[in-house]
Amino acid sequence: MSITKVSSRKPIRALKFLFDTNAPFFVYWAYIKTYFIKVLIEKKYSNAGQFHIDMMRGQFSNDWFTSNIPYWSEVFNMFDFYSKSINALEIGSWEGMSSLFVLSTLPKSTLTSVDTWEGADEHQGNSALNSIESNFDRNIQNYRNRSIKFKGTSYKFFSENTVKEYFDLIYVDGSHHTDDVIVDAIKSFELLKIGGIMIFDDYIWGYYSNPIDNPAGAINSFLRLKKGAFEILFVYGQLILKKTKNGRLLPQISNH
C-alpha cells in the first residue's frame, strides 16, 4: 500500500480530510489561519544553522522532518525556548532527525527519545529498518550528554514514568494507528507542563483506508476530550498546541 501525504495536497482536500476525521470546528479555523501565514513563516526561517551542518554529516535514509522547521522555530521563538532549560520528550525517533534538531537548536535542552526502532505498520518492508537504530545512535552521538534513549514501546515508557507535568516539549510521532495515538496523546498530555508545547506529527496524513484509523481520528477525539485545556498554535501537516491547564479529572466511582 502506498502512503498518501494529504498535507501536500490542495487546501480543499485537506479540509475534506479534516471533515472525514471528525475534526472540531476550531481546528478548521486554526488550519485556515496557518495556511494564510505559511509563506511568511517559511521565508522567515530558511536557515536552521547548526542543525543543517549536523544533518549533512549524519546518516539519513529519509527526510520527513525539515518541512516542519519553520513552524517549530516560530514556536521556539514565541516561548523563548532558545534560552531556557528545556526538558523534551519524543515518542518515535526513527533515525533521529527531529532529535538532532531539538538538541542542536536548543542548547540547554535534554531530550528523551522513545522508540522500538522496529518501525510502524507503514514501514514494514522498508529496507531502512535494518539500520535505523544504528543511524539514530550515530546521528546524535555529539549530543549524548543531553540525550536519554528509551528502547521500548510508548506504553512501557508511560508505565515506568508517571511524574506529572514534567516535560516542556513533547513530540508525538510513534505508531500512527488511532488506537495507539489516543493513548500517546492522553499520557503525553499528563506529562506536559502547563505552558508546555505538544506537537502531533502526521495530522493531515492518510495511510489507513478508513480515515478514522489515521492519527487525526485519535487527535480529534483527544482535542474534544481536553477542550479548554489547550491553545492551538498551528495546524498544517502537524498540529501544534500549548497546554493551558490540566484537563478535567474523571469523577471517582463509589463502591457503595
Q: Is residue 37 part of a domain?
A: no
Domain holding 190: CATH number? 3.40.50.150
Domain span including residue 155: 6-17+42-207+214-243
pTM of the predicted model as reported, rounded to 2 decimal places: 0.90
Residue 230, pLDDT score: 97
Mean pLDDT on 66-79:
94
Q: How far apart are CA 215 and CA 175, in angstroms?
A: 9
Specify if 186 maps to a domain: yes
What 13-17 contacts at long range (C-beta under 8 Å, 24+ apart), as own/partner pairs, is 14/204, 17/204, 17/206, 17/211, 17/216
pLDDT digit string, tens, across residues 203-245: 998 888 899 999 999 999 999 999 999 999 999 999 999 999 9
pLDDT for 134 beyond 80: yes
What local confidence, expressed as pLDDT, does residue 255 receive?
Answer: 44
Work out how many domains the chain is built from and give that number: 1
Half-sphere exposure (Cβ direction) of 207: Cα atoms closer than 13 Å: 15
Could you tell me if residue 117 is inside a domain?
A: yes
pLDDT tens sequence across 35-69: 999 989 988 876 667 788 888 888 888 888 989 99
Residue 115 lies in a domain: yes
Q: Is residue 33 part of a domain?
A: no
Whether 250 has a pLDDT exceeding 50, the answer reads no
Q: Above pLDDT 90, what percent of the chain?
A: 70
Is 118 or 141 the better-scoring residue by pLDDT?
141
Give pLDDT tens digits for 172-197.
Answer: 999 889 999 999 999 999 999 999 99
Burial status of residue 31 (CB atoms within 10 A of its CB: 0-12, 13-18, 19 or more): buried
23 part of a folded domain: no
> Residue 129 — pLDDT band, cuts 50, 70, 90?
confident
In a domain, residue 123? The reply is yes
Please report whether residue 112 resides in a domain.
yes
Rounded to whole angstroms, the Cα distance separating 158 from 100 reads: 23
